[in-house]
Amino acid sequence: MRLFALPSLTRRGPTTRLPARLLTGLRGAGLRTFHSTLLRASDKNLKLRDEDIRAPLVRLVDPASGQLQGPFQPSDILAKIDRKAYALLQVTEAPAEARDRAEWHISELPICRLISKRQAYQKEREKKKAPPRAAPPKVLQLSWNVTENDLTHKVARARKDLERGARLRTVIVSKKGTPRVLPGSQEDERRIGLVDTLLRDLCAPHADSDADIARVVQGPTWKNGRSLVEWTLDAVAP
């Protein structure tokens, strides 16, 4: 098993040479291939970079081949790269059980990558420009046998969601075992009337306004032999 005695954190050990092909890769054509995998290193959970890396020895991903090289002292890597263009980022940590030992196996050494500062900056700009992800819609689910009191309570709560700017998806379903409803029957007419009433009550303006608080953006859509209906409302900006 290949072991390495770690130098003291307060005393600089002997200089570690980086492979010539690695240095060529940092400034040559091999860099482009490596960039496709570098952007992961800007993840918010990976914070240690450059002089903040406290590990005395690390392994480095070769920009040209993607293979691990080393071990190297972080200070030696930093001395040999263009600090204006690149940063050294630690992407893994040593196992907790190895941190207090005087000797580590090479597989336990932290892994570092070189990241392009320009690409990391551009990615961060694109992230900030991206539109915010829409919040999932609120859902108002009822059965066809909903009581008047329950309906009043749920409609009032749904209107508060709409007033806060939320999208509202309403679903009315039949309870298990409910007989199938025939088109044109009295029950069918009652269900159509309930949908019309709900749409009116959910969108109705406040007492001191003439403008509806919501508008229909999808539906109503009937399904399963008129046993289910759903629609979606968007809040109307005041």
In a domain, 5, yes or no: no
Give whole-number Cα distances, 84 to 36, 50, 117, 169, in Å. Answer: 20, 12, 8, 51
Residues 148, 205 within the same domain: yes
Residues 147, 109 within the same domain: no
The pTM assigned to this predicted structure is 0.47
Q: For the chain, what is the domain count?
A: 2
In a domain, 181, yes or no: yes
pLDDT, one tens digit per residue, over 100-131 is: 777 778 888 899 999 999 998 898 888 888 77
Strand locations in 74-199 (E) = 86-90, 103-105, 111-116, 138-143, 168-173
Give the C-alpha separation, 128 to 43, whole Å.
Answer: 14
In a domain, 86, yes or no: yes
Residues 102, 191 within the same domain: no
In a domain, 164, yes or no: yes
Tokens of 139: 């859902």
Give the C-alpha separation, 1 to 67, whole Å.
Answer: 20
The C-alpha angle 10, 15, 18, rounded to 5 degrees, equals 125
Of 66, 101, 127, the position where a domain reaches its end is 127
Give whole-number Cα distances, 164 to 40, 72, 82, 161, in Å. Answer: 36, 56, 51, 5
Give the C-alpha separation, 60 to 3, whole Å.
Answer: 17
**Sole residue written with tokens 């409803």:** 181
Give whole-number Cα distances, 111 to 57, 149, 214, in Å. Answer: 9, 62, 53
- In terms of Cα–Cα distance, which of 48, 62, 136, 63 is closest to 94? 48
User: Strands 111-116, 58-61: parallel, antiparallel or unpaired by DSSP?
Assistant: parallel
pLDDT, one tens digit per residue, over 3-24 is: 444 443 323 344 344 444 443 3
Give me the pLDDT at residue 196, please. Answer: 95
Q: Is the dihedral of CA 169, 170, 175, 179 positive or negative?
A: negative
pLDDT, mean of residues 37-65: 71
Is 231 a residue whose pLDDT tops 80? Answer: yes
Give the C-alpha separation, 108 to 98, whole Å.
Answer: 7
Is 175 a residue whose pLDDT tops 80? Answer: yes
Give me the pLDDT at residue 217, please. Answer: 93
- Which residue range(s) make up the domain with 94? 50-127
Residues 227, 142 within the same domain: yes
pLDDT, one tens digit per residue, over 132-174 is: 777 889 999 999 999 999 999 999 999 999 999 999 999 999 9
- Cβ count near 139 (within 10 Å): 14
Residues 66, 106 within the same domain: yes
Give me the pLDDT at residue 117, please. Answer: 92
